[in-house]
Structure 1
């Protein structure tokens, strides 16, 4: 956990925009066309920041919530920035939190070409015209506009800020030398041996679907395969939680309609033994959820499917393959780069904010360090 004391940073651009606080689901839904058009012009055109993604999340995980959205518009009335929140109160603390959880992958405000000016305007409205004690944004890419600008703007205005690294998400740059040529000879040899071992059990093939009845069937197969493993036993599989299932089914529906959905399967004698719930968006392949048949672990069907997907992405001319989620040993086999993500906390100046900041970012980390030393 990293705590940051007040600093100075420019907040230029706030005066260029008119801001407004919108309340309720109907107001949020009405922004959809403008929201997505804004993202397409800005620095963070990601599927996770799109209106459809947030709408699916609200439908699944917060159907009764009344979201708040701070908007910034230019002199012509065009949307220049939008920051969505949910309002919470815990132990008397008024919290504004990002509408996100572990299934959100990453989070960004909707910002256009003038990300600096729009973020400054959104922050100024939050600072001066909205009541809160703690602002919490989770899983922000550290080098993204929201994760870069918001803490600096808040600190410049005397607000205490904290930053906690949530994950280092792996990704692979495509283009140039083939990905496999960059990997260790040992790992390449392992892939060949595992494919040979799997092929001895039956016919190995790859299926792909992105829309229509085939995609619907493959989504059902994906949910069943994921639930058949340890996630199903622990009750954390998508199919075991109606809210989570609703979220992924809605995402699949939206992504299929817009041409982003990339369901992939490695089959053994016609049955899936590894699958991807993937997305192709903006020249990149994103992998929100993979799964595989754990009974075939020695054959590494998940890695064999990933090998096929890497080759497909390169052949299609995609620029990157993003694993999403935290770093894991199986991902490291592909020698990826890593993108740090943070939870960012902003506290109102005053006794309450300083007390919460001190407990979370000073006392708690110190207590953990003392406990580690004592052990």
Structure 2
């Protein structure tokens, strides 16, 4: 592919790079004098195979015990957790506003990176979710403690995968629990039982909390094609 691409591109390119490739979609090629690959990040997924009970029993003992303890704690406080699933385009504007409120309670607000419906990032996610929902491929999970939104996932999907774009939770209304973890327990159970998709993709860099939910980790990669075989070594010395 790269030789023909280098010949067909305008000008006289000597190297072409394709970034952030998924080996599950494009298997990582063997390297050669004119083709090199480079690790990007590790990312995680959950395969929706079998029952949720079997998946849950395969998780760590600490995670299962903590989730049970947190639900008991909420019950003692008289708080009722509830998972809501939004799939309609007309609901996405408010969903992004709610998501922005969650991010505004935490460190992202302190750094000035929180989503707001009016800022470019918020407008981008609103358009993306509205467009995907119009095709039946958008989904927002909104998690409540009674009448207070405590966690949310913004997601898109195709015929086989649910991709979690962003997660946020209310740091000021957690009551000593992990609202996002509680939400994920219920949303993942719903996806197993719904049985319409084959996997959940995180696609961000693997963090410690991802490893509590899955041990399915793979490495995304970059690939560079060079016009001449001596270029990789020459550029490496530059």
Q: Same fold (TM over 0.5)?
A: yes
Partners of 1:128 and 1:197 lie apart in 2 by 65
Checking the alignment, whether the CA contact within 8 Å between 1:160 and 1:349 is kept in structure 2 is: no
Shift in Å, 1:333: 1.0
1:215 pairs with 2:121: no
Secondary structure class of the residue paired with 2:184: helix
For structure 2, list consecutive stretches of 5 or more residues without a partner in the other structure: none
Shift in Å, 1:240: 9.1
By relative contact order (CA 8 Å, sep 6+), the higher-ranking structure is 2
Residue of structure 2 equivalent to 1:191: 67
Checking the alignment, whether the CA contact within 8 Å between 2:116 and 2:122 is kept in structure 1 is: yes
Residue of structure 1 equivalent to 2:216: 337
Residue of structure 2 equivalent to 1:325: 204
Higher helix proportion, which one? 1
Residue of structure 2 equivalent to 1:313: 191
For structure 1, list consecutive stretches of 5 or more residues without a partner in the other structure: 1-119, 360-375
Checking the alignment, whether the CA contact within 8 Å between 2:93 and 2:126 is kept in structure 1 is: no
Secondary structure class of the residue paired with 1:148: coil
Residue of structure 1 equivalent to 2:57: 181
Partners of 2:157 and 2:175 lie apart in 1 by 27
Aligned CA-pair RMSD: 2.5
Residue 40 of structure 2, aligned match among 148, 155, 166: 166
Q: TM-score, normalised by structure 1?
A: 0.56
324-333 or 243-252, which deviates more: 243-252
Partners of 1:310 and 1:216 lie apart in 2 by 24
Q: How does 1:61-76 map to 2 (within 5 A)?
A: none
Secondary structure class of the residue paired with 2:116: helix
Give the 4+ runs in structure 1 shifted more than 6 A. Answer: none
Q: For residues 303-333 of structure 1, give each alpha carbon's deviation from its aligned partner in whole angstroms, at most 9, with x where no partner exists.
A: 0000011111011112212222111111111
Q: 1:234 to 1:272 in 2, by over 3 A?
A: same
1:254 pairs with 2:134: no
Residue of structure 1 equivalent to 2:21: 140
Partners of 1:240 and 1:266 lie apart in 2 by 19
Q: 1:236 to 1:345 in 2, by over 3 A?
A: farther
